[in-house]
């Protein structure tokens, strides 16, 4: 059975990491049996990040590489029907979520004071003293440096949220009144879409990003549709 190593669930979401939630959602979409061992250790990840999987004797890290591996190993149950144009659109949507909106979401959770207070309690409250005081400080500092290196962290708070809100508007427009991002049937890109949108809407972290997502009725309807279909439990 596939072992999925990821962070613990929080706030009623499968995972606060959209990348972890993306992989778990994909596994459910293609009905592959899996388990999530308790006490996943970030230090054992080949790339120092979550998620990663073990399948037999093979270890694969990075959400996109994991899904590519699963498609190659078990068949492409969702995307084989897609046209080249649809595949190109899926890649553009993925990049918008993972290479742009993601960084604005990181800012809202780890740098913005209101968001960090919520995430700090959810992610670190179970640590023993003094680790629950020390670890959040270093985690925030590391992410601040990543944001600066990526470039988004060099902007003002208002500019960062403006960039993220434009991404949300564009993604909502691409979704339109379709059931899923590429039409009436789900594709693997919907694992990404659901993971990111549900984290924006349903994690109790108030920010301009959440407010903007809530303005788009099709985003809420999309998340409810995915939840009912793949997380009825």
- Which domain CATH number covers 218? 1.20.1050.10
Distance between CA atoms of residues 24 and 120, nearest Å: 23
Domain that holds residue 175: 84-230
Stretch 37-49: mean pLDDT, rounded?
89
The answer for residues whose C-beta is within 8 angstroms of residue 15's C-beta and 6 or more apart is 6, 7, 8, 9, 21, 24, 195
Nearest C-alpha neighbor of 106 from the set 59, 63, 153 = 153
Q: What does residue 177 show for φ and ψ, rounded to 5 degrees?
A: -100, 20
pLDDT tens digit sequence for 165-205: 999 999 999 999 999 999 999 999 999 999 999 999 999 99
> Where does a domain end: 53, 74, 95?
74
Question: Strands 2-5 and 52-55, how do they pair?
Answer: antiparallel
- The fraction of the chain above a pLDDT of 90, given in percent, is 91
Task: Tell me the pTM.
Answer: 0.95
Q: Which of 52, 74, 96 is the last residue of a domain?
A: 74
* Mean pLDDT to the nearest integer, 137-143: 95
Q: Which of 74, 104, 132 is the last residue of a domain?
A: 74
| Residue 39 pLDDT exceeds 90 | no
In a shared domain, residues 69 and 92: no
Of the candidates 39, 32, 123, the one whose C-alpha atom is nearest the C-alpha of residue 78 is 32
| 79 is a domain residue | no
Residues 17 and 129 in one domain: no
Report the candidate in 13, 52, 6 with the shortest Cα–Cα distance to residue 194: 13
133 and 195 in a single domain? The answer is: yes
- Total domains in the chain come to 2
Same domain, 69 and 88: no
pLDDT band at 127 (very low <50, low <70, confident <90, very high): confident
User: Residue 152: its pLDDT value, please?
Assistant: 97
In a domain, 95, yes or no: yes
Same domain assignment for residues 92 and 29: no
Per-residue pLDDT at 179: 98
44 and 107, same domain (yes or no): no
User: What's the pLDDT score for residue 116?
Assistant: 96
Closest CA to 196 of 8, 10, 18: 18
Average pLDDT over every residue of 40-46: 88
Mean of pLDDT over the chain = 96
H/E run at residue 61: strand 58-61
Terminal CA-CA length for the chain? 21
């Amino acid at each position: 059975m596939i072992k999925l190593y990821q962070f613990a669930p929080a706030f009623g979401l499968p995972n606060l990491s959209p990348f972890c939630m993306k992989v778990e959602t994909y596994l459910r979409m293609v009905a592959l049996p899996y388990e999530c061992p308790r006490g996943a250790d970030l230090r054992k990840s080949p790339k120092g990040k979550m998620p990663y999987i073990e399948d037999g004797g093979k270890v694969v890290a990075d959400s996109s590489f994991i899904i590519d591996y699963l498609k190659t190993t078990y068949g492409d149950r969702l995307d084989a029907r897609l046209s080249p144009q649809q595949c190109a659109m899926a890649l553009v949507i993925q990049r918008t979520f993972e290479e742009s909106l993601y960084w604005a979401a990181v800012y809202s959770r780890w740098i913005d004071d209101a968001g960090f207070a919520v995430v700090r309690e959810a992610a670190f409250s179970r640590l023993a003293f003094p680790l629950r005081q020390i670890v959040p400080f270093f985690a925030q500092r590391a992410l601040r440096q990543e944001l600066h290196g990526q470039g988004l962290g060099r902007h003002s708070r208002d500019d960062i949220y403006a960039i993220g809100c434009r991404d949300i508007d564009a993604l909502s427009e691409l979704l339109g009144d379709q059931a899923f991002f590429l039409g009436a049937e789900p594709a693997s890109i919907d694992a990404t879409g659901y993971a990111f949108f549900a984290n924006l809407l349903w994690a109790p972290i108030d920010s301009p990003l959440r407010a903007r997502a809530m303005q788009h009725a099709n985003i809420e309807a999309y998340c409810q549709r995915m939840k009912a279909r793949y997380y009825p439990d």
